[in-house]
Amino acid sequence: MRKLLTIACCGLSTLAAAQSIDEAKQLIYYDRLESAENILQKIRESGEEKDVLYWLSEVYFEKDSISKAKELLLQPSDAGMLNTPLNKVALGKLLLQEGKVDEAKGLFEEALKDSRHKDAEVVKAIMEAQVETRSGDPDYAINVFESVKKKSVDARFYTLIGDAYRKKGDGGEAAKAYMNALLEDDKFAEAAYKLGKIYLTQQNTEMFLKHFNKAIAADPNYAPAYYELYYYYYFRDVNKAKEYLDQYIAHTDPSEEHQLMQADLLFVSGKYDETINSVRSLIEEKTNAVKPRLLKMMAYSFDAKGDATQALQYIDQYFQKAPDSSIVAKDHDLKASLLAKMAQDSLAIDAWTKALQLDTVNKYRIGYMQNIASLYKKQNLRSNEAAWLGKIYQEKEDANNLDIYNWGLAHYAANEFQLADSVFSIYVNKYPEQVYGYYWRARSRAQVDSTMEQGLAYDDYRKVTEIAAADPQKNKSLLIQSYGYLGAFDANTKKDYPLALEWFEKILALDPDNQDAQKFSGILKKWVADGGPK
Protein backbone atom coordinates (compact mmCIF):
# COMPACT_ATOMS: atom_id res chain seq x y z
CA MET A 1 0.00 0.00 0.00
CA ARG A 2 2.88 2.34 0.86
CA LYS A 3 4.45 1.56 -2.52
CA LEU A 4 1.19 2.35 -4.31
CA LEU A 5 0.94 5.65 -2.45
CA THR A 6 4.51 6.53 -3.42
CA ILE A 7 3.75 5.82 -7.07
CA ALA A 8 0.60 7.91 -6.90
CA CYS A 9 2.46 10.81 -5.32
CA CYS A 10 5.16 10.63 -7.95
CA GLY A 11 2.52 10.67 -10.61
CA LEU A 12 0.93 13.76 -9.12
CA SER A 13 4.35 15.44 -8.84
CA THR A 14 5.12 14.75 -12.50
CA LEU A 15 1.70 16.07 -13.51
CA ALA A 16 2.33 19.27 -11.54
CA ALA A 17 5.69 19.70 -13.26
CA ALA A 18 4.11 19.13 -16.65
CA GLN A 19 1.45 21.71 -15.89
CA SER A 20 4.16 24.16 -14.88
CA ILE A 21 6.05 23.50 -18.11
CA ASP A 22 2.84 24.21 -20.01
CA GLU A 23 2.42 27.41 -18.03
CA ALA A 24 5.99 28.45 -18.85
CA LYS A 25 5.41 27.67 -22.55
CA GLN A 26 2.35 29.90 -22.49
CA LEU A 27 4.32 32.69 -20.84
CA ILE A 28 7.06 32.38 -23.49
CA TYR A 29 4.36 32.66 -26.16
CA TYR A 30 3.10 35.85 -24.52
CA ASP A 31 6.65 37.22 -24.27
CA ARG A 32 6.60 37.14 -20.47
CA LEU A 33 10.11 35.80 -20.28
CA GLU A 34 10.98 36.71 -16.70
CA SER A 35 7.92 34.89 -15.35
CA ALA A 36 8.67 31.89 -17.56
CA GLU A 37 12.28 31.80 -16.37
CA ASN A 38 11.22 31.88 -12.71
CA ILE A 39 8.90 28.90 -13.17
CA LEU A 40 11.44 26.92 -15.16
CA GLN A 41 14.23 27.53 -12.66
CA LYS A 42 12.03 26.10 -9.90
CA ILE A 43 11.25 23.05 -12.04
CA ARG A 44 14.94 22.63 -12.80
CA GLU A 45 15.78 22.73 -9.08
CA SER A 46 13.22 20.02 -8.43
CA GLY A 47 14.91 17.77 -11.00
CA GLU A 48 11.53 16.28 -11.92
CA GLU A 49 11.36 17.38 -15.56
CA LYS A 50 14.33 16.70 -17.83
CA ASP A 51 12.94 18.74 -20.79
CA VAL A 52 13.19 21.86 -18.65
CA LEU A 53 16.62 22.51 -20.19
CA TYR A 54 15.03 22.95 -23.59
CA TRP A 55 12.43 25.43 -22.40
CA LEU A 56 14.84 27.36 -20.21
CA SER A 57 17.27 27.63 -23.12
CA GLU A 58 14.37 28.95 -25.23
CA VAL A 59 13.90 31.74 -22.71
CA TYR A 60 17.60 32.60 -22.96
CA PHE A 61 17.53 32.49 -26.76
CA GLU A 62 14.50 34.82 -26.76
CA LYS A 63 16.37 37.20 -24.44
CA ASP A 64 19.50 36.99 -26.64
CA SER A 65 21.38 35.62 -23.63
CA ILE A 66 23.38 33.13 -25.67
CA SER A 67 26.09 32.87 -23.01
CA LYS A 68 23.48 31.78 -20.45
CA ALA A 69 22.07 29.21 -22.85
CA LYS A 70 25.57 27.90 -23.46
CA GLU A 71 26.31 27.61 -19.74
CA LEU A 72 22.98 25.85 -19.18
CA LEU A 73 23.42 23.30 -21.97
CA LEU A 74 27.16 22.63 -21.80
CA GLN A 75 27.46 22.41 -18.03
CA PRO A 76 24.21 20.84 -16.78
CA SER A 77 24.13 19.53 -13.23
CA ASP A 78 22.94 16.20 -14.67
CA ALA A 79 24.63 15.45 -18.00
CA GLY A 80 22.11 12.70 -18.58
CA MET A 81 19.40 15.31 -19.00
CA LEU A 82 20.81 16.14 -22.44
CA ASN A 83 19.81 12.70 -23.72
CA THR A 84 16.14 13.63 -24.17
CA PRO A 85 15.13 14.48 -27.76
CA LEU A 86 14.02 18.02 -26.88
CA ASN A 87 17.23 18.81 -25.02
CA LYS A 88 19.26 17.51 -27.96
CA VAL A 89 17.35 19.98 -30.13
CA ALA A 90 18.26 22.75 -27.65
CA LEU A 91 21.94 21.84 -27.95
CA GLY A 92 21.59 21.67 -31.73
CA LYS A 93 20.09 25.18 -31.74
CA LEU A 94 23.06 26.43 -29.73
CA LEU A 95 25.41 24.90 -32.30
CA LEU A 96 23.47 26.63 -35.07
CA GLN A 97 23.91 29.91 -33.19
CA GLU A 98 27.65 29.26 -33.38
CA GLY A 99 27.52 28.38 -37.09
CA LYS A 100 28.24 24.67 -36.55
CA VAL A 101 25.62 23.55 -39.04
CA ASP A 102 26.68 19.92 -39.58
CA GLU A 103 27.04 19.18 -35.86
CA ALA A 104 23.63 20.74 -35.23
CA LYS A 105 22.06 18.66 -37.99
CA GLY A 106 23.51 15.50 -36.43
CA LEU A 107 21.79 16.28 -33.12
CA PHE A 108 18.50 17.07 -34.87
CA GLU A 109 18.63 13.73 -36.66
CA GLU A 110 19.35 11.97 -33.35
CA ALA A 111 16.38 13.72 -31.74
CA LEU A 112 14.10 12.65 -34.59
CA LYS A 113 15.37 9.06 -34.42
CA ASP A 114 14.99 8.92 -30.61
CA SER A 115 11.40 10.12 -30.88
CA ARG A 116 10.77 7.84 -33.91
CA HIS A 117 9.64 10.91 -35.91
CA LYS A 118 6.36 10.85 -33.98
CA ASP A 119 6.82 13.58 -31.39
CA ALA A 120 5.23 16.73 -32.79
CA GLU A 121 6.93 18.83 -30.07
CA VAL A 122 10.37 17.68 -31.25
CA VAL A 123 9.59 18.44 -34.91
CA LYS A 124 8.31 21.91 -34.00
CA ALA A 125 11.42 22.55 -31.92
CA ILE A 126 13.69 21.60 -34.84
CA MET A 127 11.70 23.76 -37.25
CA GLU A 128 11.87 26.69 -34.84
CA ALA A 129 15.64 26.28 -34.45
CA GLN A 130 16.11 26.35 -38.22
CA VAL A 131 13.96 29.43 -38.83
CA GLU A 132 15.09 31.49 -35.83
CA THR A 133 18.87 31.20 -36.14
CA ARG A 134 21.01 32.95 -38.71
CA SER A 135 22.71 29.71 -39.77
CA GLY A 136 19.40 27.85 -39.92
CA ASP A 137 18.11 26.24 -43.10
CA PRO A 138 14.43 26.99 -43.86
CA ASP A 139 14.33 24.17 -46.42
CA TYR A 140 15.34 21.71 -43.67
CA ALA A 141 12.41 22.98 -41.60
CA ILE A 142 10.03 22.47 -44.52
CA ASN A 143 11.36 18.96 -45.19
CA VAL A 144 10.99 17.96 -41.54
CA PHE A 145 7.42 19.19 -41.63
CA GLU A 146 6.69 16.91 -44.58
CA SER A 147 7.28 13.90 -42.33
CA VAL A 148 4.51 14.94 -39.92
CA LYS A 149 1.20 13.12 -40.19
CA LYS A 150 -1.43 15.54 -41.41
CA LYS A 151 -3.76 14.79 -38.53
CA SER A 152 -1.05 16.14 -36.19
CA VAL A 153 -0.72 19.47 -38.02
CA ASP A 154 -1.97 22.37 -35.92
CA ALA A 155 -1.84 26.18 -36.16
CA ARG A 156 1.67 26.24 -34.68
CA PHE A 157 2.97 23.94 -37.42
CA TYR A 158 1.48 26.15 -40.15
CA THR A 159 2.97 29.23 -38.49
CA LEU A 160 6.42 27.64 -38.46
CA ILE A 161 6.04 26.80 -42.14
CA GLY A 162 5.16 30.46 -42.70
CA ASP A 163 8.30 31.44 -40.81
CA ALA A 164 10.38 29.16 -43.04
CA TYR A 165 9.00 30.67 -46.24
CA ARG A 166 9.44 34.15 -44.82
CA LYS A 167 13.09 33.37 -44.14
CA LYS A 168 13.40 32.21 -47.74
CA GLY A 169 12.01 35.60 -48.85
CA ASP A 170 8.79 34.08 -50.20
CA GLY A 171 6.17 36.39 -48.68
CA GLY A 172 3.34 34.89 -50.71
CA GLU A 173 3.83 31.34 -49.43
CA ALA A 174 4.46 32.64 -45.93
CA ALA A 175 1.16 34.56 -45.94
CA LYS A 176 -0.63 31.47 -47.23
CA ALA A 177 0.78 29.39 -44.37
CA TYR A 178 -0.22 31.97 -41.74
CA MET A 179 -3.74 32.05 -43.19
CA ASN A 180 -3.88 28.25 -42.98
CA ALA A 181 -2.89 28.56 -39.33
CA LEU A 182 -5.82 30.90 -38.72
CA LEU A 183 -8.16 28.54 -40.55
CA GLU A 184 -6.95 25.80 -38.21
CA ASP A 185 -7.34 28.01 -35.12
CA ASP A 186 -8.77 31.51 -35.48
CA LYS A 187 -7.65 32.31 -31.92
CA PHE A 188 -3.97 31.71 -32.68
CA ALA A 189 -2.83 35.33 -32.39
CA GLU A 190 0.77 34.67 -33.45
CA ALA A 191 -0.32 33.79 -37.00
CA ALA A 192 -2.35 37.00 -37.38
CA TYR A 193 0.54 38.98 -35.92
CA LYS A 194 3.07 37.48 -38.33
CA LEU A 195 0.71 38.06 -41.24
CA GLY A 196 0.67 41.70 -40.13
CA LYS A 197 4.50 41.72 -40.10
CA ILE A 198 4.54 40.69 -43.77
CA TYR A 199 2.30 43.61 -44.69
CA LEU A 200 4.44 45.86 -42.51
CA THR A 201 7.51 45.07 -44.62
CA GLN A 202 5.41 45.90 -47.69
CA GLN A 203 4.35 49.21 -46.04
CA ASN A 204 0.72 48.25 -46.55
CA THR A 205 -0.65 50.23 -43.60
CA GLU A 206 -4.28 49.21 -43.94
CA MET A 207 -3.47 45.50 -43.93
CA PHE A 208 -0.85 45.39 -41.19
CA LEU A 209 -3.05 47.44 -38.85
CA LYS A 210 -5.93 45.09 -39.63
CA HIS A 211 -3.94 41.97 -38.75
CA PHE A 212 -2.28 43.39 -35.62
CA ASN A 213 -5.74 44.32 -34.35
CA LYS A 214 -6.99 40.90 -35.41
CA ALA A 215 -4.26 39.29 -33.28
CA ILE A 216 -5.43 41.27 -30.24
CA ALA A 217 -9.08 40.42 -30.92
CA ALA A 218 -8.15 36.73 -31.17
CA ASP A 219 -6.16 36.82 -27.94
CA PRO A 220 -6.14 40.04 -25.85
CA ASN A 221 -3.13 38.72 -23.89
CA TYR A 222 -0.84 38.64 -26.96
CA ALA A 223 1.61 41.45 -26.11
CA PRO A 224 3.73 41.62 -29.33
CA ALA A 225 0.75 43.00 -31.29
CA TYR A 226 0.26 45.79 -28.75
CA TYR A 227 3.93 46.70 -29.15
CA GLU A 228 3.70 46.97 -32.94
CA LEU A 229 0.64 49.21 -32.70
CA TYR A 230 2.34 51.34 -30.04
CA TYR A 231 5.39 51.73 -32.26
CA TYR A 232 3.29 52.63 -35.32
CA TYR A 233 1.35 55.36 -33.50
CA TYR A 234 4.46 56.58 -31.65
CA PHE A 235 5.36 58.59 -34.77
CA ARG A 236 1.79 59.64 -35.58
CA ASP A 237 -0.53 59.94 -32.60
CA VAL A 238 0.99 59.98 -29.11
CA ASN A 239 -2.40 59.54 -27.42
CA LYS A 240 -3.12 56.31 -29.30
CA ALA A 241 0.47 55.24 -28.79
CA LYS A 242 -0.01 55.64 -25.05
CA GLU A 243 -3.15 53.47 -25.13
CA TYR A 244 -1.25 50.63 -26.78
CA LEU A 245 1.81 51.10 -24.59
CA ASP A 246 -0.38 50.83 -21.48
CA GLN A 247 -1.83 47.59 -22.84
CA TYR A 248 1.63 46.27 -23.71
CA ILE A 249 2.89 46.99 -20.20
CA ALA A 250 -0.22 45.42 -18.66
CA HIS A 251 0.39 42.19 -20.59
CA THR A 252 4.15 41.84 -20.08
CA ASP A 253 6.42 41.37 -17.08
CA PRO A 254 7.42 44.54 -15.21
CA SER A 255 10.79 45.84 -16.37
CA GLU A 256 12.98 48.92 -16.54
CA GLU A 257 12.32 48.90 -20.28
CA HIS A 258 8.70 49.83 -19.58
CA GLN A 259 9.83 52.93 -17.69
CA LEU A 260 12.11 53.86 -20.57
CA MET A 261 9.30 53.47 -23.08
CA GLN A 262 7.02 55.63 -20.94
CA ALA A 263 9.74 58.27 -20.72
CA ASP A 264 10.16 58.09 -24.51
CA LEU A 265 6.46 58.76 -24.94
CA LEU A 266 6.60 61.73 -22.55
CA PHE A 267 9.44 63.11 -24.69
CA VAL A 268 7.61 62.84 -28.02
CA SER A 269 4.55 64.36 -26.32
CA GLY A 270 6.64 67.46 -25.63
CA LYS A 271 6.52 66.92 -21.85
CA TYR A 272 10.21 67.55 -21.36
CA ASP A 273 10.14 68.37 -17.64
CA GLU A 274 8.20 65.17 -16.93
CA THR A 275 10.67 63.22 -19.08
CA ILE A 276 13.61 64.66 -17.17
CA ASN A 277 12.03 63.90 -13.79
CA SER A 278 11.16 60.36 -14.83
CA VAL A 279 14.61 59.60 -16.24
CA ARG A 280 16.39 61.28 -13.34
CA SER A 281 14.63 58.95 -10.89
CA LEU A 282 15.79 55.97 -12.97
CA ILE A 283 19.36 57.28 -12.95
CA GLU A 284 19.26 57.68 -9.19
CA GLU A 285 17.99 54.10 -8.82
CA LYS A 286 20.83 52.80 -11.01
CA THR A 287 23.65 54.91 -9.59
CA ASN A 288 26.30 52.27 -10.22
CA ALA A 289 24.85 50.88 -13.45
CA VAL A 290 23.27 53.78 -15.33
CA LYS A 291 22.24 52.77 -18.82
CA PRO A 292 23.77 55.05 -21.49
CA ARG A 293 20.33 55.36 -23.06
CA LEU A 294 19.12 57.27 -19.98
CA LEU A 295 21.91 59.80 -20.36
CA LYS A 296 21.03 60.25 -24.01
CA MET A 297 17.37 60.81 -23.19
CA MET A 298 18.34 63.50 -20.69
CA ALA A 299 20.51 65.19 -23.31
CA TYR A 300 17.71 65.26 -25.89
CA SER A 301 15.21 66.51 -23.30
CA PHE A 302 17.42 69.38 -22.11
CA ASP A 303 18.16 70.28 -25.74
CA ALA A 304 14.42 70.44 -26.45
CA LYS A 305 14.07 72.78 -23.47
CA GLY A 306 16.80 75.01 -24.90
CA ASP A 307 19.30 74.25 -22.14
CA ALA A 308 22.42 73.60 -24.22
CA THR A 309 24.76 73.52 -21.19
CA GLN A 310 22.92 70.67 -19.43
CA ALA A 311 22.29 68.86 -22.71
CA LEU A 312 25.99 68.95 -23.57
CA GLN A 313 26.95 67.60 -20.14
CA TYR A 314 24.64 64.60 -20.56
CA ILE A 315 25.58 63.87 -24.17
CA ASP A 316 29.26 63.92 -23.16
CA GLN A 317 28.49 61.39 -20.40
CA TYR A 318 26.58 59.30 -22.92
CA PHE A 319 29.56 59.17 -25.29
CA GLN A 320 31.82 58.15 -22.40
CA LYS A 321 29.60 55.21 -21.38
CA ALA A 322 27.92 53.99 -24.58
CA PRO A 323 29.60 51.30 -26.69
CA ASP A 324 30.56 52.49 -30.17
CA SER A 325 28.10 50.03 -31.70
CA SER A 326 25.12 51.78 -30.08
CA ILE A 327 26.08 55.34 -31.06
CA VAL A 328 24.22 56.57 -34.14
CA ALA A 329 24.70 59.53 -36.45
CA LYS A 330 21.96 61.57 -34.77
CA ASP A 331 23.86 61.38 -31.46
CA HIS A 332 26.88 63.03 -33.08
CA ASP A 333 24.50 65.50 -34.75
CA LEU A 334 23.03 66.50 -31.38
CA LYS A 335 26.49 66.90 -29.85
CA ALA A 336 27.62 68.98 -32.82
CA SER A 337 24.62 71.31 -32.65
CA LEU A 338 25.17 71.81 -28.91
CA LEU A 339 28.86 72.53 -29.41
CA ALA A 340 27.98 75.03 -32.13
CA LYS A 341 25.57 76.80 -29.75
CA MET A 342 28.40 76.99 -27.22
CA ALA A 343 30.69 78.53 -29.89
CA GLN A 344 32.98 75.48 -29.87
CA ASP A 345 33.10 75.46 -33.64
CA SER A 346 36.09 73.18 -34.23
CA LEU A 347 34.68 70.48 -31.97
CA ALA A 348 31.27 70.88 -33.62
CA ILE A 349 32.87 70.32 -37.04
CA ASP A 350 34.55 67.14 -35.73
CA ALA A 351 31.21 65.87 -34.40
CA TRP A 352 29.35 66.55 -37.64
CA THR A 353 32.14 64.83 -39.56
CA LYS A 354 31.60 61.73 -37.39
CA ALA A 355 27.85 61.93 -38.01
CA LEU A 356 28.58 62.02 -41.72
CA GLN A 357 30.69 58.85 -41.47
CA LEU A 358 27.79 56.94 -39.89
CA ASP A 359 24.76 58.24 -41.76
CA THR A 360 23.63 56.85 -45.10
CA VAL A 361 20.51 59.00 -45.55
CA ASN A 362 21.25 61.59 -48.22
CA LYS A 363 19.21 64.48 -46.81
CA TYR A 364 20.81 64.12 -43.38
CA ARG A 365 24.29 63.88 -44.87
CA ILE A 366 23.67 67.07 -46.84
CA GLY A 367 22.50 68.78 -43.64
CA TYR A 368 25.68 67.85 -41.77
CA MET A 369 27.85 69.11 -44.64
CA GLN A 370 25.93 72.38 -44.83
CA ASN A 371 26.44 72.88 -41.10
CA ILE A 372 30.17 72.25 -41.44
CA ALA A 373 30.40 74.67 -44.39
CA SER A 374 28.52 77.34 -42.42
CA LEU A 375 30.90 77.05 -39.47
CA TYR A 376 33.93 77.42 -41.75
CA LYS A 377 32.29 80.51 -43.27
CA LYS A 378 31.71 81.89 -39.77
CA GLN A 379 35.43 81.37 -39.03
CA ASN A 380 36.26 83.09 -42.34
CA LEU A 381 37.94 79.91 -43.56
CA ARG A 382 36.39 80.31 -46.98
CA SER A 383 38.61 77.77 -48.72
CA ASN A 384 37.41 75.05 -46.30
CA GLU A 385 33.85 76.25 -46.78
CA ALA A 386 34.25 75.97 -50.54
CA ALA A 387 35.62 72.43 -50.26
CA TRP A 388 32.52 71.31 -48.33
CA LEU A 389 30.14 73.15 -50.63
CA GLY A 390 31.77 71.25 -53.48
CA LYS A 391 31.10 67.96 -51.69
CA ILE A 392 27.48 69.01 -51.21
CA TYR A 393 27.12 69.69 -54.92
CA GLN A 394 28.59 66.29 -55.79
CA GLU A 395 26.33 64.40 -53.37
CA LYS A 396 23.11 66.39 -53.55
CA GLU A 397 20.54 64.66 -55.72
CA ASP A 398 18.70 67.87 -56.62
CA ALA A 399 21.56 70.39 -56.67
CA ASN A 400 20.50 73.73 -58.17
CA ASN A 401 21.98 77.02 -59.33
CA LEU A 402 22.17 78.39 -55.78
CA ASP A 403 24.36 75.45 -54.72
CA ILE A 404 26.81 76.20 -57.53
CA TYR A 405 26.64 79.94 -56.86
CA ASN A 406 27.51 79.59 -53.15
CA TRP A 407 30.28 77.11 -53.94
CA GLY A 408 31.88 79.40 -56.49
CA LEU A 409 31.43 82.49 -54.30
CA ALA A 410 33.27 80.77 -51.41
CA HIS A 411 36.25 80.06 -53.69
CA TYR A 412 36.16 83.68 -54.86
CA ALA A 413 36.11 84.96 -51.27
CA ALA A 414 39.10 82.70 -50.51
CA ASN A 415 41.00 84.34 -53.42
CA GLU A 416 40.94 80.99 -55.24
CA PHE A 417 40.01 82.64 -58.49
CA GLN A 418 41.01 79.79 -60.81
CA LEU A 419 38.79 77.41 -58.83
CA ALA A 420 35.99 79.98 -58.79
CA ASP A 421 36.33 80.23 -62.58
CA SER A 422 35.90 76.44 -62.87
CA VAL A 423 32.80 76.42 -60.63
CA PHE A 424 31.12 79.32 -62.44
CA SER A 425 31.85 77.54 -65.73
CA ILE A 426 29.65 74.72 -64.40
CA TYR A 427 26.98 77.36 -63.68
CA VAL A 428 27.24 78.80 -67.22
CA ASN A 429 26.99 75.36 -68.82
CA LYS A 430 23.96 74.33 -66.78
CA TYR A 431 22.15 77.69 -66.81
CA PRO A 432 23.29 79.52 -70.01
CA GLU A 433 20.28 81.86 -69.92
CA GLN A 434 21.11 83.25 -66.46
CA VAL A 435 23.36 86.26 -65.98
CA TYR A 436 25.11 85.40 -62.69
CA GLY A 437 27.24 82.56 -63.99
CA TYR A 438 28.75 84.82 -66.66
CA TYR A 439 29.09 87.74 -64.24
CA TRP A 440 30.99 85.83 -61.55
CA ARG A 441 33.09 83.95 -64.07
CA ALA A 442 33.97 87.32 -65.54
CA ARG A 443 34.95 88.67 -62.12
CA SER A 444 37.01 85.54 -61.40
CA ARG A 445 38.82 85.75 -64.72
CA ALA A 446 39.40 89.47 -64.25
CA GLN A 447 41.25 88.60 -61.02
CA VAL A 448 43.34 85.93 -62.79
CA ASP A 449 44.12 88.40 -65.59
CA SER A 450 44.43 91.48 -63.39
CA THR A 451 46.44 93.50 -65.99
CA MET A 452 43.83 92.83 -68.70
CA GLU A 453 46.61 91.71 -71.02
CA GLN A 454 44.71 88.58 -72.08
CA GLY A 455 41.19 89.93 -71.82
CA LEU A 456 40.04 86.70 -70.14
CA ALA A 457 36.89 88.31 -68.79
CA TYR A 458 35.94 90.19 -71.93
CA ASP A 459 33.55 87.69 -73.54
CA ASP A 460 31.77 86.98 -70.26
CA TYR A 461 31.22 90.69 -69.57
CA ARG A 462 29.86 91.05 -73.10
CA LYS A 463 27.44 88.20 -72.36
CA VAL A 464 26.42 89.90 -69.11
CA THR A 465 25.50 93.06 -71.04
CA GLU A 466 23.41 91.06 -73.52
CA ILE A 467 21.37 89.26 -70.85
CA ALA A 468 21.16 92.14 -68.36
CA ALA A 469 20.00 94.62 -70.99
CA ALA A 470 16.57 92.96 -70.94
CA ASP A 471 15.90 94.75 -67.64
CA PRO A 472 18.38 97.66 -67.31
CA GLN A 473 16.98 99.05 -64.05
CA LYS A 474 17.01 95.72 -62.26
CA ASN A 475 20.48 94.90 -63.55
CA LYS A 476 21.90 98.44 -63.36
CA SER A 477 24.84 97.54 -61.13
CA LEU A 478 25.85 94.54 -63.27
CA LEU A 479 25.66 96.60 -66.45
CA ILE A 480 27.75 99.48 -65.06
CA GLN A 481 30.49 97.10 -63.90
CA SER A 482 30.46 95.23 -67.21
CA TYR A 483 30.49 98.40 -69.34
CA GLY A 484 33.37 99.72 -67.21
CA TYR A 485 35.50 96.60 -67.76
CA LEU A 486 34.75 96.50 -71.49
CA GLY A 487 35.52 100.23 -71.88
CA ALA A 488 38.81 99.91 -69.97
CA PHE A 489 39.92 96.85 -72.01
CA ASP A 490 39.03 98.42 -75.38
CA ALA A 491 40.82 101.64 -74.44
CA ASN A 492 43.94 100.26 -72.76
CA THR A 493 44.55 96.94 -74.49
CA LYS A 494 42.82 97.11 -77.89
CA LYS A 495 43.33 100.89 -78.29
CA ASP A 496 39.85 101.04 -79.83
CA TYR A 497 38.90 104.44 -78.44
CA PRO A 498 35.57 104.91 -80.28
CA LEU A 499 34.31 101.54 -79.02
CA ALA A 500 35.62 102.26 -75.53
CA LEU A 501 33.76 105.59 -75.59
CA GLU A 502 30.53 103.76 -76.47
CA TRP A 503 30.81 101.62 -73.31
CA PHE A 504 31.28 104.62 -71.04
CA GLU A 505 28.42 106.46 -72.70
CA LYS A 506 26.22 103.44 -71.93
CA ILE A 507 27.15 103.89 -68.27
CA LEU A 508 26.13 107.55 -68.42
CA ALA A 509 22.82 106.61 -70.02
CA LEU A 510 22.09 104.52 -66.92
CA ASP A 511 23.76 106.80 -64.39
CA PRO A 512 24.32 110.36 -65.66
CA ASP A 513 26.04 111.37 -62.41
CA ASN A 514 28.66 108.60 -62.54
CA GLN A 515 31.87 110.58 -62.05
CA ASP A 516 34.24 107.89 -63.36
CA ALA A 517 32.23 107.52 -66.55
CA GLN A 518 32.12 111.32 -66.99
CA LYS A 519 35.87 111.55 -66.54
CA PHE A 520 36.78 108.69 -68.88
CA SER A 521 34.26 109.58 -71.57
CA GLY A 522 35.71 113.12 -71.62
CA ILE A 523 39.23 111.77 -72.09
CA LEU A 524 38.11 109.32 -74.78
CA LYS A 525 36.22 112.00 -76.72
CA LYS A 526 39.43 114.04 -76.86
CA TRP A 527 41.43 110.99 -77.96
CA VAL A 528 38.90 110.20 -80.70
CA ALA A 529 39.06 113.78 -81.92
CA ASP A 530 42.87 113.92 -81.75
CA GLY A 531 43.43 110.47 -83.21
CA GLY A 532 44.77 109.08 -79.90
CA PRO A 533 46.47 110.23 -76.70
CA LYS A 534 49.08 112.97 -77.05
Q: What are phi and psi of 50, to 5 degrees?
A: -65, -35
Neighbours of 207 (CB within 10 A): 16
Is the pLDDT reported for residue 9 higher than 50?
A: no
pLDDT score, position 4:
28
pLDDT tens by residue, 215-261:
999 999 999 999 999 999 998 999 999 999 999 999 999 888 898 89
pLDDT score, position 44:
87
Residue ranges in 187-344 assigned as alpha helix (H): 189-201, 205-218, 223-234, 238-250, 256-268, 272-285, 292-304, 308-321, 329-341
| DSSP category for residue 449 | T
* Burial call 82-105: b when 16+ CB within 10 Å, e when fewer: bebbbbbbbbbbbbbbeeebeebb
* Burial call 350-386: b when 16+ CB within 10 Å, e when fewer: bbbebbbebbeeeebbbbbbbbbbebbbeeebbebbb
d(C-alpha 524, C-alpha 274), whole Å: 79
Q: How confident is the model at residue 290 (pLDDT cuts 50, 70, 90)?
A: confident
- CB-CB contact of 330 with 297 (8 Å): no
d(C-alpha 265, C-alpha 277), whole Å: 13
- Average pLDDT of 401-429? 98
Share of the chain above pLDDT 70, in %: 95
- Average pLDDT of 124-147? 94
Q: Which amino acid is at 519?
A: K
| DSSP category for residue 315 | H
- CB-CB contact of 308 with 341 (8 Å): yes
Q: 178 Cβ partners below 8 Å, 6+ apart?
A: 158, 159, 162, 191, 192, 194, 195, 198
Q: Where are the domains of the chain?
A: 1-152
18-22, 114-118, 180-184, 289-293: least confident range: 18-22
Is the pLDDT reported for residue 2 higher than 80?
A: no
pLDDT score, position 90:
93
> Which has the closest alpha carbon to 279: 248, 253, 301?
301
Residue 290 burial by Cβ neighbours in a 10 Å radius (0-12, 13-18, 19+): middle
pLDDT score, position 337:
97
pLDDT score, position 14:
38
- Average pLDDT of 167-174? 94
| The CA-based dihedral angle spanning residues 382, 383, 384, 385, taken in that order and rounded to the nearest 10 degrees | 50
Whether this prediction's pTM lies above 0.85 is answered by no
pLDDT score, position 530:
84
pLDDT score, position 533:
82
- Report the chain's mean pLDDT, rounded to a whole number: 91
The fold of 1-152 is 1.25.40
pLDDT score, position 74:
84
Q: 483 Cβ partners below 8 Å, 6+ apart?
A: 465, 503, 504, 506, 507
The DSSP element (H or E) to which 13 belongs, if any, is helix 2-29
Q: Is the dihedral of CA 170, 175, 180, 184 positive or negative?
A: positive
| DSSP category for residue 325 | G
**DSSP assignments along 379-425, one per residue:** TT-HHHHHHHHHHHHHH-TT--HHHHHHHHHHHHHTT-HHHHHHHHH
Is the pLDDT reported for residue 520 higher than 50?
A: yes
Is the pLDDT reported for residue 411 higher than 60?
A: yes
Is the pLDDT reported for residue 437 higher than 90?
A: yes
Entry field: residues in the chain: 534
pLDDT tens by residue, 306-316:
999 999 999 99
pLDDT tens by residue, 53-106:
999 999 999 988 999 999 888 876 666 677 899 999 999 999 999 999 999 999
Question: Within 13 Å, how many C-alpha atoms sit on residue 142's CB side?
Answer: 14
Q: How confident is the model at residue 16 (pLDDT cuts 50, 70, 90)?
A: very low
